Structure formats: structure tokens, C-alpha cells
Chain A
Amino acid sequence: MSYLRTVLDSRELLMYLTLREVKGKYKRTLLGQLWSLANPLAMMVVYTFIFAFIFRVQPDPGDPSGLNVFALWLLCGLLPWLFFAKVVSGGVDSLVSNAGLIQKVYFPRVVLPLSLVTASGYNWLFEMAVLVIALMIVGAWVLPWLPLVLLMMLLLAVFAAGVSLLVAVANVYFRDTEHLLSIVLQLWMYLTPIIYPLSLVRNLSNDVGGLLGTPITLLDIFRLNPMERFVAVFRQLLYDNRWPDLGDLTFCIVSALLALALGFWVFARKEKGFAEAL
């Protein structure tokens, strides 16, 4: 709790560090902020081509929205994932790359990884706004769900912040973390139903049945992944336009709070040694 206080007290510093990230990033580029859209759009084109046209993956149409556009269905899951991946892969390096600062000035170190959450969050907000406009053009009734979408975005930011704090601390002591993480994030992305629908996993799981004679199915294990739940809720809100599944929502809330609490706890315990360890 006292740690939240520290974060609140250093919110102005957090704001300036966020501005440093946001402004510094696209300085001297012609397209500026538009570059943040380039990566998700390129991935959308590639995945849509491969998975919708070559592999013929067919997610269920939005219920009750009736949408049936693979590219938009994909983006509803891909944009949250890309945000999460950017926060975590940027956060892992945030303490090590600011070693000079940490060794020369005292300030709450936690703002370094957190500034990446806010900076990436700013870009994500921009991307999601474009997605919402696209969804409305094809006739989805998204507007009433926007407050809940924003709330979910906040929740995912909390989850990402928690994970990012943990990997940032780990990377101070074991520099392998950042290399390992890039592999883990790739695996994690493919284990999360972003480019394929969960129904494919469900079919497989039904065929296999209970694992090793237990009633636990493949699907149950698959759904332990918090990102799976986040993606599901984002799709329910944006693509299906309906109330999120209560179980999924609860899972998201609990995992976000747990991740943040664990992240703060580990960070607070290790923070005092950073200047020496770096």
C-alpha cells in the first residue's frame, strides 16, 4: 500500500518520463505518431492473408453483432496482446538501460518500468480508437461498451505493469532474462488464441478427453493463461458487443491484482540494491 503512495507522489515524474518516451520515440520521423499504427497493421495484413485465406481459419461471427470480418476479429485480440508484449519487453530492459541514472540520482525507481506502461498505453489508446472507428464503419454497435473497454484496458495495463516489474528486477540480476523473455513472449502469443479461435482448441480438447485419466482437459490448462481471458473479454466487448463472461472478467481482475501486488512486493524488496547490482 505504501508503495502505491510512492507511485502517486511521483506522478509528475512519471508524466515527464512518459513524455520523454513518447516524444523522443518519433522525433525526426516524417510520419510521427502514425508509425505506432504501422506494426499492428502490417501484422494484420500478414496474419489475415495466411490464416484467413490460406489456412481458412473461421472464427464464429460476432454474437449478437453479426460481424464476420477476420481482420477486425484478429485486431480485437492482437492490439491488446501487442500492448502487453511491448510493455513487458520494454520493461525488462528499463532498469539496466537507465543504469547511469540509477547510480547518480535518487528517485523512486519504479517509475522507470511504469513510464513504459503509460507511454505504450498512450500509443495503444490511439490504436484502439482507430479500431473502434473501423468497427463502427462495418456496423458494430460499440459505443455503449466503450466505458467497459477502457476499464479493461486499465486492467490489462495493471497486469502488464506487474509482469514488467518482475522481469525488470530479474534482469538486473540475470541478464539472460531479456533474451529468454523474447522467446517466452513468442510462445505465449501462439498459446493465446489471438490468430485462431478458442473453438479449435475446444474441439481438440474434446477429442483428447481428460488428461491422464483425470477430468482436467487440455482446454482447462489452456485457459489458465490470463492473456487468453483478456483477449476473450476484449472480443466479447468489441467484436460481439455483449456483456463479458463473468468468469473471464473475474479471472482478469484477480490475475491483474495478483501480478501487480507481486511485482510491487519484489520491486520494493530489491530496489535498494539496484545501484550496486547494475
Chain B
Amino acid sequence: MNAVEIDQVSKSFRLYHERNQTLKSAIMRRRRSVHEDFWALKDVSFDVPEGSTFALIGSNGSGKSTLLKCLAKIYWPTSGSIRYNGRMAAMLEVGSGFHHELSGRENIYLNGSILGMSKKEIDRKYDQIVDFSGVEQFIDQPVKNYSSGMYVRLGFSIAISVEPDILVVDEVLAVGDAEFQEKCLQKFRDFRDEGRTVILVSHSMEAVRDMCDHAAWLNKGHLMTVGDVDSTIEAYLGGKGAHGAA
């Protein structure tokens, strides 16, 4: 059973030589703009097995973040399709949509509903969210008075409480102090033990090796290898070395 099936996904962006975002230039030129297509992803296909912790690796500009954003439904593939078996939630940034003047409590409800939780669900998980974030003392204070650590901890706690079947994560694992990071990692392990699927992007091969069981290596928008984590990392490091030598 696959949690996510990525089928022939391609994504192109328009590189504007002259970006005409004003009416004047649009009218003067009689057309929108001069551009060429840049393919950030080209015919990428692979499956993410259910219950796996799956890493997308590759050097900068390899298209892994674009793929992640496609998976998070923020970008729409130019062609190809992505199928999900289960509820997907993405954590690309924590605390998105917090309103600074509103209290922590109000922001839990606001942010939770942006992430797709119903009021009932948030009511049920409220104590758990506050507990995990460790900000209960300040929960009725406006979040603008929070320290940056408290801010991301609250954001992370809300996002993690969505408890999706498939969790898509950018490199946001490193939030808060060492103690909180350990709590986060534990949470991801719990996720895996509960049979949920986690897809993440990371540059730290140690973290990937430690946490993930599957990986896919992307290079310049093309899928190089996909499979179990050790052989993929080996291919990636080897490939990089070969490139470096050449």
C-alpha cells in the first residue's frame, strides 16, 4: 500500500526577462511579458510506501523543495499527478498566520483551523497542544510578547497536533532548544510507530540516516535514485564526489 503516488510530475516556472506586473507595461507591449520556461521538475515518478519515513535529498536547486511544495498542494504540477491515500498535512513553516495582537489561545484556534482542523478537534487537542509547547503560563498573552522560542514551539505544537496520515515537513525540525528538539524528534518517532507516513527534506545526512527508512535523490529536477535510505545516500554522496572530481 502506498501513502503517496507521484506520477510523472513536472513543474515549470516562468523565468521572466521582463516581468510586466503593471498595466502600463502590459498595454505598451501588447503582451504580458517575455519569458522562458525553466523546468524545476521533470517527469518525476515514485511511490512513498505507507508508514515509511521518507527523505528527499539533493543539492541546492535540485527541485526537492519544489516537489515538497507540490506535495503540500501549494504549487500545482504543470503536468502529472499526485495521489494521496489518507489525510495530508504540511509543515513548511511554523506559526504561519499567527496574529500578533491575539492571545496564544486565540491563535491556537486560528492556526489550527488554517491547518484544516475542526473546532471540535482543536477543543479536544487543546490541552495537549499547550502542554507540548510549554507556554501555558503565557497562553492568554498576545503572541507578540512571546520570545521567538515560545513562538515556534507553539507553532510546532499546533502543526504536529493535526495528526495527519501523511506529514510533509520542510527543514523545520530544528526548532527551539535542545530539549524541545528532542521532544520533536520523539514526536516524529511516535508518528512512525503509529504507522503514519512522514516525508521530509533535509540537508543533514546524519539526521536522514537516523530518522528515515526510504529516500529519493533528486538532481536538477530529475529523479536519480529511489529506495532504502542507506543505498540512496551512498549513491548521492558518491555521485556528488564523482561530480566534484570531474
Shortest beta-carbon distance, B160 to chain A, in Å? 14
**Interface flag for A16 (CB, 8 Å):** yes
Shortest beta-carbon distance, B201 to chain A, in Å? 14
Judging by beta carbons under 8 Å apart, are B92 and A272 in contact? no
Judging by beta carbons under 8 Å apart, are A16 and B101 in contact? no
Interface magnitude class on chain A? 20 to 34
**Interface flag for B175 (CB, 8 Å):** no
Judging by beta carbons under 8 Å apart, are A24 and B99 in contact? yes
Q: Within 8 Å CB of A273, what residues of B?
A: 76
Q: Within 8 Å CB of A23, what residues of B?
A: 101-102, 106
Judging by beta carbons under 8 Å apart, are A104 and B101 in contact? no
Q: Within 8 Å CB of A100, what residues of B?
A: 96
Judging by beta carbons under 8 Å apart, are A19 and B74 in contact? no
Task: Mark B65-103 against chain A: 1 for CB-CB distance below 8 A, else 0.
Answer: 000010011111000000000000010110011010110
Shortest beta-carbon distance, A103 to chain B, in Å? 6
**Interface flag for B185 (CB, 8 Å):** no
**Interface flag for A17 (CB, 8 Å):** yes
A102 to B69, CA, bound (A): 11
A93 to B200, CA, bound (A): 33
Judging by beta carbons under 8 Å apart, are B23 and A19 in contact? no
**Interface flag for A207 (CB, 8 Å):** no
A42 to B38, CA, bound (A): 54
Q: Which applies to chain A's interface (DSSP): helix, strand, loop or mixed?
A: helix
A275 to B99, CA, bound (A): 21
Q: Within 8 Å CB of A276, what residues of B?
A: 13, 75
A173 to B26, CA, bound (A): 11
Judging by beta carbons under 8 Å apart, are A16 and B90 in contact? no
A276 to B15, CA, bound (A): 11
Judging by beta carbons under 8 Å apart, are B110 and A106 in contact? no
Judging by beta carbons under 8 Å apart, are B96 and A101 in contact? yes
Contact residue among A27, A107, A176 (Cβ-Cβ distance under 8 Å from B101): A27
Judging by beta carbons under 8 Å apart, are A20 and B96 in contact? no
Q: Within 8 Å CB of A20, what residues of B?
A: 99, 102, 106, 110
Q: Within 8 Å CB of B69, what residues of A?
A: 275
Q: Closest residue to A176 on the B side, CB-wise?
A: B23
8 Å CB interface, A174-209 against B: 174-176, 180
A68 to B96, CA, bound (A): 52
Task: Mark A16-34 against chain B: 1 for CB-CB distance below 8 A, else 0.
Answer: 1101100110011000000
Shortest beta-carbon distance, B82 to chain A, in Å? 12
**Interface flag for B22 (CB, 8 Å):** yes
**Interface flag for B126 (CB, 8 Å):** no
Selecting from B114-122, B127-135, B189-197, the interface stretch reads B114-122
A110 to B24, CA, bound (A): 28
8 Å CB interface, B131-157 against A: 142
Shortest beta-carbon distance, B37 to chain A, in Å? 13
A24 to B103, CA, bound (A): 10
A105 to B72, CA, bound (A): 8
Contact surface of B with A, Cβ cutoff 8 Å? 13, 21-24, 26, 69, 72-76, 90, 92-93, 96-97, 99, 101-102, 106, 109-110, 113-116, 118-119, 142
Among all A-B residue pairs, the 8 with the closest Cβ atoms:
A106-B73, A272-B76, A13-B113, A27-B101, A104-B93, A104-B96, A16-B110, A176-B23
* Extra A-B contacts (5), CB below 8 Å, given A24-B101, A24-B102, A173-B21: A13-B114, A15-B113, A27-B101, A107-B116, A175-B22
A-B contact pairs, 23 of them (CB 8 A): A12-B119, A13-B113, A19-B106, A20-B102, A20-B106, A24-B99, A27-B102, A27-B142, A100-B96, A101-B96, A102-B74, A104-B74, A105-B115, A107-B115, A173-B21, A174-B22, A174-B23, A176-B22, A176-B24, A272-B76, A275-B75, A276-B13, A276-B75
